[in-house]
Amino acid sequence: MATSIDSGVINAMNGGAAGGASLSAKQSDELRNNFMTMLVTQLQNQDPLSPMKNEDMTAQLAQINTVSGIEKLNESMAAITGQIDAGQTLQATGLIGKGVLVPGDRVLLSQGEAAEGEQAEVTTTPFGIELNQPADSVIVTITNQSGQVVNRYDMGSAKAGVESFSWDGQTSDGQTAADGAYRVSVEATRGDEAVPVETLNYAVVGSVTPPTDGGQVQLDLGAVYGRVGLSDIKQIL
């Protein structure tokens, strides 16, 4: 008679516990029952001349206890994760209706109606940049839907991190650009070296969706920008 439980049973239990949801509660209970049945049967039928050593039985019992502990830990972690997700979702609802900067390159321009003899008020959405190191020069280029350059200007130096800017809606010849969507591109340099830069555009948070399948909270930014993760928010305006 063998003096140790079939390792396949223990391996199956360890694999199921480590995988979290790999085994159902019913399957896990069945494996535990099988383990205990095999252990009792082994003790009843062991060779009197070569009985199971105390340390062998203790090791096997320790393994079954370890499996139970892992399963309880998985349950606790799942509960904690659920609470964290609920907390993040609740916090994210505070962003509804607020403007945020997310990765993108759109700038919107609109002109209000002007009274007779007065110039119409020009409104443009903000844009931003994210730098991983300071830049001596940040050059912004605004292009229209046809790819034609509308304006190009130097914003000067910029620190590392996220900074927001605004375009006055003027073309390079001092005229007010037409209403519509424009594209902004940015070139950053430090000395003679190019600095990696990410362009950010403005959007308004419309709604919040709780995370699913281990994902993150999703923010709905409307039909144009779609949904983005909470981690995509670079700045709240």
Residue 133 phi, psi (nearest 5):
-155, 160
Q: Cα dist. 36→23, 42, 54, 135, 194 in Å?
A: 18, 10, 16, 68, 67
Q: Model confidence at 9, in pLDDT bands (50, 70, 90)?
A: very low
- Chain segment 109-153, per-residue pLDDT in tens: 998 776 666 677 899 999 999 999 999 999 999 999 999 999 999
User: Is residue 132 situated within a structural domain?
Assistant: yes
| Residue 129 belongs to a domain | yes
Q: Are residues 23 and 111 in the same domain?
A: no
* CATH value at residue 185: 2.60.40.4070
- How many domains, in total, are found in the chain? 2
Which residue, 93, 122, 151, sits at the end of a domain?
93
Residues 140 and 217 in one domain: yes
Question: Would you say the pTM of this structure is higher than 0.85?
Answer: no
Q: Are residues 222 and 107 in the same domain?
A: yes
pLDDT, tens digit, for every residue of 179-197? 999 999 999 999 999 999 9
Residue 207 sits at φ, ψ, to 5 deg, of: -160, 170
Where do we find the tokens 């594209």?
Answer: 183
Query: How big is the CA angle at 30 (ends 27 and 31), to the nearest 5 degrees?
Result: 90
* pLDDT tens profile 24-53: 556 666 666 766 676 677 666 665 656 555
CA-based nearest residue to 2, from 32, 47, 34 = 47
Task: Enter the tokens of residue 89.
Answer: 């979702």
Question: What's phi and psi for 25, nearest 5 deg?
Answer: -60, -40
- Residue 83 located in a structural domain: yes
Structural domain for 20, as ranges: 7-93
Indicate whether 27 and 134 sit together in one domain. Answer: no
**Which of 25, 59, 93 is the last residue in one of the domains?**
93
74 plus 160 within the same structural domain: no
List, for residues 67-91, the tens digit of each pLDDT value.
666 667 677 666 666 676 677 788 8
Q: Quick one: 51 and 148 in the same domain?
A: no
Which of 58, 93, 128 delimits the end of a domain?
A: 93
Convert the pLDDT of each residue in 93-103 to its tens digit: 889 999 999 99
User: Which pLDDT band holds residue 21 (cuts at 50, 70, 90)?
Assistant: very low
In a domain, 2, yes or no: no
